[in-house]
Amino acid sequence: MKLSNILSVVNQVEKSKFINFLDRVCSEAIVHDKELAKRVNNLDGQIKNASSGEIIQLFELVLPYFEKSVKEQLAMLGAQATLLTNIVSRDGNCIARLSWIEALYIKEWNAIDSQSKEVKSLILESLNAEEFNASKRLETYYSCVKEAYTNDEKNNRESRITDDERSILNVLANKLDITAEHRSAVEHLVDAIPQTGVQDCLNTLREVGLVFVSRKNLTVYVADEIVSMLNRMQGKELADKHLLRILRTLSDSELSNILKTHGKRIRGKERTEKVAEIIKMGLHTSKILQQDIFNPDTNINDRKERLKTLISDLDLGLEKIGTTLDERTDLIKSSLNSSADNEFNALSATGFKELFSTLKTHFPKLTSLLHKDFEIEENEELDVDKLRALSITPHDILYMLSNEDIKLVRDSMGVSKRGNPRLIILESFADATDKLIENYALLAKRDLTGLKSEGIEIAETDIGIKFEEVTKAIFEQLGLDVDEDLRRSINTSKDKADIILSLSEDDIIIGEAKTCKNGDFAKYSTTSRQVKAYVNRCESSGKRVAQVLIIAPSFSTDFVESAEMDTEINISLLEAAGLKQILDAFKSRRNPNFSAKLFTKGGLLKADLIAKNV
């Protein structure tokens, strides 16, 4: 969930800790950075009175200083804070109940404690060993971690591992080939992680701007921007879900090479077991791509060619693929790290819902798999809105399924067997949405006969929802920001807005999609009550409603006149055929000139005039 959306969800008290920490970082930074001071001064007013948009701007400006300050704070907070930040920065944990975070903590603590006992036995075995084997490497790493932790006592200071010492230990761990789980176990031996006090530690993380805690909902929120920052600080080049995509794309022999490189057993292991073990090891993606997947005698040109093929297999859509091994590795990492927005836009809201529903039909274990792999609380109901909030894209879901499972789903769906099965499945849902867009006017008029003649089978009860979702798809194709996170956060069981378009961090358009079977749409009093409730909800969340846009097949004269005379809110009306006309004009232009502000003129919009000027 993006920081802007979290700021819309939590109240002023819950924002205050983040704002106070950001203010402190900013005040310290501008003393040393005159250029930053100028840019900060351009933001109006005091930070405590700033809008969500201004807070986001300030956060982006001071991010390097924010990250440096967080590093310093975490170094002082110790092992418990490190373990908690590891948990909240994992895939699927950015929104979770307090009780679930505590449960994950206990589960992780027990695993580390058990692992530390095994590591202790290995270290004891190595004390008299002459060979520099895995046990001896662990003993060497343990000795260095212990020294880094206890050397402060010589100067009568509290024992802790500083950020500089952590950097050196990370290099040492990589050189000694110490896996992530063994690193955690060793640190637990040196500085035992407390088993209790999770809520107190979360409150401390809240003080340093890392998490938001809603006392009303007993929920912890971690912004996507913070997750990216924590991953950088932990030296994690890719999120596990993105590393999983790479591993699913590699051959069996390449997976075996990775395990052999790190002294792991491969005989008798299934492909899924190999993938799971590699992810658990916490290896650097760069090392996997440049060294581990290859036989030692593979030359540099063959390695570069393999990464070129991998870029194609992952369908990263890069304009340039680089010429060196480092360039291609960096492009793969940066493309995957920034892929979420493009992947959400690859399918319309309708397409995503239909994909999720179809996958559950053809693979009944899907929801339990998502709960398990993304560590989502079991009683948490999963739908597309929830998945979006957790930043789980359609691609993420498809890569959760093994290569064998995805082929079974593909065959069960009856789609083409040629090409990448995951991409073929995605394309089939994109095509279904395009067909509905082509027949948008029929959908608006609830013309079942017309839709059927075009090969579209749809239940009458589903038409309203489909019309709403296809309208979103059209807006997305027009390049507009359909803000599903914000819509989800402001909607209640009583008041449910259809569409929210974000113009900026603070300005939005509220959209309503209305179908009508016979004649013109004429229900102004009912519609105005609805949209006014949505406006109030948005404004109470700190958003400015620039316009309300109502889309329907056509409007009665009374409806148009009532909208024009309404003094409480600004309303624009647009006929469904007109919106389709605008989209067609947009697609036909090589360099279309379109802005959402064209929807803010008020009254019944002239679609032909807008289309002409796109």
> What's the one-letter identity of residue 494?
K
Max Cα separation, the chain?
A: 93
pLDDT in tens, 79-109: 899 899 999 999 899 999 999 999 999 999 9
HSE at residue 245, side-chain half, CA atoms within 13 A, is 26
Q: What is the dihedral of CA 434, 436, 441, 444, to 10 degrees?
A: -140
Residues present in the chain in total: 614
The arithmetic mean of pLDDT across residues 450-475, rounded, is 90
- Provide mean pLDDT across the span 286-310: 95
Element (H, E) at 599: none
Dihedral, CA of residue 594, residue 596, residue 598 and residue 603, to nearest 10: 150
* Residue where the block lists tokens 């796109």: 614
**Closest CA relative to residue 258, chosen from 276, 242, 241:** 276
Given a cut of 80, whether residue 196 has pLDDT beyond it is: yes
- Provide the pairing of β-strand 544-552 with 507-513: parallel
Condensed to tens digits (0 to 9), the pLDDT of residues 513-556 reads: 999 988 899 999 999 999 999 999 888 888 899 999 999 999 99
Instruction: Quickly list H helices, 314-348.
Output: 325-337, 340-346
CA distances from 124 to 117, 193, 378, 435 (A): 11, 21, 40, 67
Residue % of the chain over a pLDDT of 90? 60
Inter-CA distances, 251 with 177, 311, 488, Å: 23, 14, 40
User: Bridge-partner residues for 507, per DSSP?
Assistant: 544
For residue 591, name the pLDDT band (cuts at 50, 70, 90).
confident
Residue the block writes with tokens 């079991």: 378
Band of residue 141 on the pLDDT scale cut at 50, 70, 90? very high
Dihedral sign for Cα 286, 289, 293, 295, please.
negative
Residue from 83, 84, 31, 38 nearest 61 by CA: 38
Our measurement of the distance from residue 156's CA atom to the centroid of its chain's CA atoms, rounded to an integer in Å, reads 44
Task: Please state the rounded mean pLDDT for residues 150-154.
Answer: 88
Q: Kindly tell me the sign of the dihedral angle through the C-alpha atoms of 406, 408, 413, 418.
A: positive
Token couple for 259:
């395990």
In 3D space, the residue among 238, 301, 189, 199 whose CA is nearest the CA of residue 91 turns out to be 238
Beta bridge partners of 466: none
Non-local CB neighbours of 193 within 8 Å, separated by 6+ positions: 79, 80, 83, 109, 112, 187
End-to-end CA distance of the chain: 32
Band (pLDDT 50/70/90 cuts) for residue 351 is confident
Q: How far apart are CA 224 and CA 338, in angstroms?
A: 11
The secondary structure of residue 555, as a DSSP letter, is B
Mean pLDDT value across the chain: 90
Domain ranges in the chain are 1-149+197-235, 240-338, 339-438, 475-614
Closest CA to 80 of 200, 213, 178: 200
In whole angstroms, what is the distance from residue 181 CA to residue 58 CA?
A: 36
Whether residue 55 contacts residue 66, with contact meaning beta carbons closer than 8 Å, is answered with no
How many distinct helices (H) and strands (E) make up the chain?
32, 9
Residue 344 CB contacts under 8 Å (≥ 6 apart), including other chains: 352, 388, 393, 394
Architecture of domain 475-614: 3-Layer(aba) Sandwich (3.40)
Residues 557-590 have pLDDT tens digits of 999 999 999 989 999 999 999 999 999 999 998 8
Please tell me the distance from the alpha carbon of residue 433 to that of residue 347, in angstroms, as a whole number.
8
- Rounded Cα distance, 14 and 410, in Å: 45
The reported pLDDT for the residue numbered 506 is 83
Of 211, 214, 215, 213, nearest in space to 224 by CA: 211
What is the rounded distance in angstroms from the CA atom of residue 205 to the CA atom of residue 85? 8
Q: Tell me the mean pLDDT in the region 245-266.
A: 94
Tell me the two tokens of residue 313: 């297999």
- So what's the pLDDT on residue 43? 64
For position 362, what pLDDT does the model report? 95
At 46 the pLDDT is: 64
Model pLDDT, residue 45: 53
Query: Containing H/E element for 355?
Result: helix 349-362
Task: Encode pLDDT of 39-85 as tens digits.
Answer: 777 665 566 667 777 888 889 889 999 999 998 888 888 889 989 99
Q: What is the pTM of this model?
A: 0.80
